[in-house]
Chains A and B, each alone.
Chain A
């Protein structure tokens, strides 16, 4: 009860401030969206009709929305400012972000140059920042007319200033761009800086121009340091530094040969660029939005989160006004730049990886390594097929019919590959049923999931007739692995190609893990029989690659690379997978349907009796 009073009081205060600026103020009520696994909703936004009906007033989120109409504008477009704010637990950072947004909002209510309406959304973040913003956006973009409306009269216990508020949902024009403003809680002790978060769901990025505007205004006008997330563990790594120095030397030498060649960059810049690139690729590959801006991208609106990180922590700060002034000027500049545009951002890139706040790798460049990585797959598949079909005539051919059957031998392998992929689908669907069972810890869940996967795989193999190593294999069986590998490679290639269209970064990381293993996999038995230095090395490589490419191991490796704070728990993997499906990330599907079956097939080839 006490909490709810604070809630309503703080909301009322914000609304009063907004009203003081002659803005149109409304409350927007929403149900918190429960993150559930919806197997069929991977590429659609979750439907709001699956809300459980028994939600009380206390658990309803309430956004406060203020709209300033452009005095001479046509009212067809709008810019959104978002400040996430938890009324139940007010922290100083959030309060400061409200202060920055308010100062910008009050300025914008007076200026004469507005051509687009300004919407200030104070998002109620008690159920998460993302869900409140996405609930408001869903209402804004796709109004639902036959929905169980929360009875706002019963829930709005306070009605002192309600008379001036607009009832119902207020809209402005098409959203041109959105800016989420946050203030970091802890000071970073170096400098006033600005963190930019841009990744939305499934690795979608806002138009690069939006990042460029923020970067330009922050660096050149407000003298803030811009930061994008980096993979910190890479910064200290020796081999990367060495590589950077080598590249720098080559660059200098090349410039001496021809002053036109300017590809050499300083070693430290190279290392920082690589660390940023790795992080950019990881967060895009994850497919989970890095902030509330992700909700806008689902409606093709360009949005980023800017987190202003002051030099000293807000609690110890004694120059709040100066801080608000600086942050406000930055936001004002960005808003004005967007306001001056005639169209939505379209000139610059949507597909890119950041290597620094002002540098990027565009799609035309980053496609090349992926294509080079993927190209060997069909070639090796074809050569393996040729190899197996060439060697089969060595076996005595009884008749013409047999011969034609020989050329259709790959059907057998294809059947196997297909079944394994079906197994992958079943494994990825299992968590849907597991979450229905109440009272299971992540570790329990993971154990059940893992054991089911292994059990079903064993059953499948026994049904398919796994060639037992007891009997001496025939010549045809010996060659069977080549056929199987050929089909596996083709399937991997198709899977990776499809994934590169949906989320390129995932496909790129996945290709890095699975392609070497796929290419190198060959029966260990052959290597052991040969007993040469080379084959033993090959076998070791295969085993190591097989270990790395196993999804939980790959996850743990990546995780250790990103946060050096120790304490790895196997249950983290379950939580990670859970977050992937909760955010409808296509990466989950990729792992379940492409990566895992291909890995299992390669392991199968590895232990194939030859």
Chain B
């Protein structure tokens, strides 16, 4: 009789745990289903910065790109997530009055070519082929990781290009062209391969807006320095260096960002509205019909920095210790199944928690308390992941109720086993 009752109790326990797990899995699976759509969290930032022109008199294009490089780095995108392509080496050109230095202003206060510049593609490596390979991720096997765009469906990518362009093309290296449909094809491919969540294409060239005409993929926002039939002009000539050092569009973009730091909340619309056609001598054009969010609500640091939405958790420390505990426990077990632990870290912790639950299920009932705590903590983590689906207050509520429910059961079972 006692035995039978114990069995029933065990069964109820199992049912309870299973119920908890099931609930958790439901939440988890919803997250997996929506991974291909917009509901994926923005988890990382990448930048691809391209200067497409050669020769000394195109100094300004290299200075444009290096300035943008410096800005995105300052706003928090690390070097390993920036692909920098420079078609020529102005810094070491014999005509450069300041060897190994590049300036974007005639006041020469800021050397853009300091110690900490990592150029990924340089000189004749900057070709249309390599550019498309970087975007689509179809590299030869020997290409090192530092030269690849290792983005995922949670990535926000900034694609900045400058050079000489025309109606629906951008010239690369004086010998080849990137056409608007090439760009559109590459972006479409990226979308289908889940290589970005959102993509901001920024182009500073003559007739830049024509380059966006073929784009179709959702989540793409594009801004160009000039409309069709317009030229993009350089900002000023540095008589000391002997050439123009920066283009107008980039100059005013940089002027906008110089006022910002990593904590600022300026929106994309404030950036786009900051362009004055009289100062640019061209009309900045942005295409937003493929982009779902309101530009007023999107901070510029979403693209130009590495600032992501953070979620407040009440019990950060317990969650952290548990995560450490779980990680330590499962390392050998899960080692081979997750390759890029860096990028997938959030989902990884998911799986670790699942594993924790599985171990809890196999535990004896006298460890159930711990198991329940595990479950409670993992509930916390899920809520961290799910964010929008169920707010963590309701989960807390749910868990507290479960705990209260458990207590009489625990008392009852100990009384029975006596």
Contacts and interface: CB of A to CB of B under 8 A. Distances in A.
B243 A72 contact: no
Interface stretch (B90-98, B226-234, B269-277): B90-98
B97 A113 contact: yes
A112 B57 contact: no
Contacts of B56: 340, 342
* Interface size range on B against A: 10 to 19
B242 interface: yes
A70 interface: yes
A115 interface: yes
Given A112-B99, A336-B242, A340-B243, A72 B94 contact: yes
B55 interface: yes
Interface string B307-334: 0000000000000000000000000000
B93 to A, nearest CB: 8
Which of A70, A74, A112 has the largest number of chain B CB atoms within 10 A? A112
Nearest to B99: A112
A413 to B, nearest CB: 59
A111 B94 contact: no
A178 interface: no
A214 interface: no
A342 B59 CA distance: 13
Contacts of A111: 97
A177 interface: no
B243 to A, nearest CB: 7
Interface string B51-88: 00001110000000000000000000000000000000
A72 B94 CA distance: 5
Given A112-B99, A340-B56, A342-B56, A70 B94 contact: yes
A339 interface: yes
A73 B94 contact: yes
B87 to A, nearest CB: 14
Interface in B11-38: none
B57 A114 contact: no
Contacts of B95: 113, 115, 339-340
* Interface size range on A against B: 10 to 19
Nearest to A111: B97
A21 B98 CA distance: 21
Contact of B97 (A73, A74, A112): A112
Contact of A74 (B57, B92, B94): B94
Contact of A340 (B57, B92, B98, B99): B57
Interface in A333-367: 336, 339-340, 342
A115 B94 contact: yes
Nearest to A112: B97
A223 to B, nearest CB: 16
A258 B97 CA distance: 50
A342 B93 CA distance: 12
Interface string B95-139: 111110000000000000000000000000000000000000000
A339 B57 CA distance: 11
Contacts of A340: 56-57, 95, 242-243
Contacts, number: 31
Contacts of B92: 72
Contacts of A70: 94
A71 B95 CA distance: 10
The secondary structure that dominates the A interface is loop
Interface string A91-126: 000000000000000000001111100000000000
A401 B56 CA distance: 77
B94 A113 contact: yes
Given A70-B94, A72-B94, A74-B94, A113 B242 contact: yes
Interface string B236-248: 0000001100000
B169 to A, nearest CB: 22
A70 B94 CA distance: 8
Contacts of B96: 112-113
A604 B98 CA distance: 74
A158 B105 CA distance: 53
Contacts of B243: 340
Interface string A63-96: 0000000111110000000000000000000000
A73 B93 CA distance: 8
Nearest to A73: B94
Nearest to B241: A113
B123 to A, nearest CB: 15
Interface in A119-155: none
Contacts of A72: 92, 94, 99
Nearest to A342: B55
Contacts of A336: 242
Nearest to B57: A340
A581 B56 CA distance: 45
Contacts of B57: 340, 342
Nearest to B95: A115
Nearest to B240: A113
Which of B57, B94, B99 has the largest number of chain A CB atoms within 10 A? B94
A11 B363 CA distance: 105
Nearest to A70: B94
B55 A114 contact: no
B124 to A, nearest CB: 16
A336 B242 CA distance: 8
Contacts of B93: 115
A147 B98 CA distance: 46
A71 B94 CA distance: 8
A68 to B, nearest CB: 13
Nearest to A75: B94
A70 B98 CA distance: 15
A32 B92 CA distance: 45
B128 to A, nearest CB: 22
A347 to B, nearest CB: 12
A348 to B, nearest CB: 15
B239 to A, nearest CB: 9
Interface in B276-324: none
A553 B231 CA distance: 56
B181 to A, nearest CB: 31
Nearest to B243: A340
B89 to A, nearest CB: 12
Which of B56, B57, B95 has the largest number of chain A CB atoms within 10 A? B95
B55 to A, nearest CB: 6
Contacts of A73: 94
A114 B242 contact: no
A74 B57 CA distance: 18
A112 B95 CA distance: 8
Contacts of B94: 70-74, 113-115
10 contacts: A70-B94, A72-B92, A74-B94, A112-B96, A112-B99, A113-B96, A113-B97, A113-B242, A340-B243, A342-B55
Given A112-B96, A342-B56, 15 more contacts: A71-B94, A72-B94, A73-B94, A113-B95, A113-B97, A113-B242, A114-B94, A115-B93, A115-B94, A336-B242, A339-B95, A340-B56, A340-B57, A340-B242, A342-B57
Closest 5 CB pairs of A and B: A115-B94, A72-B94, A113-B97, A73-B94, A115-B95
Interface of A: 70-74, 111-115, 336, 339-340, 342
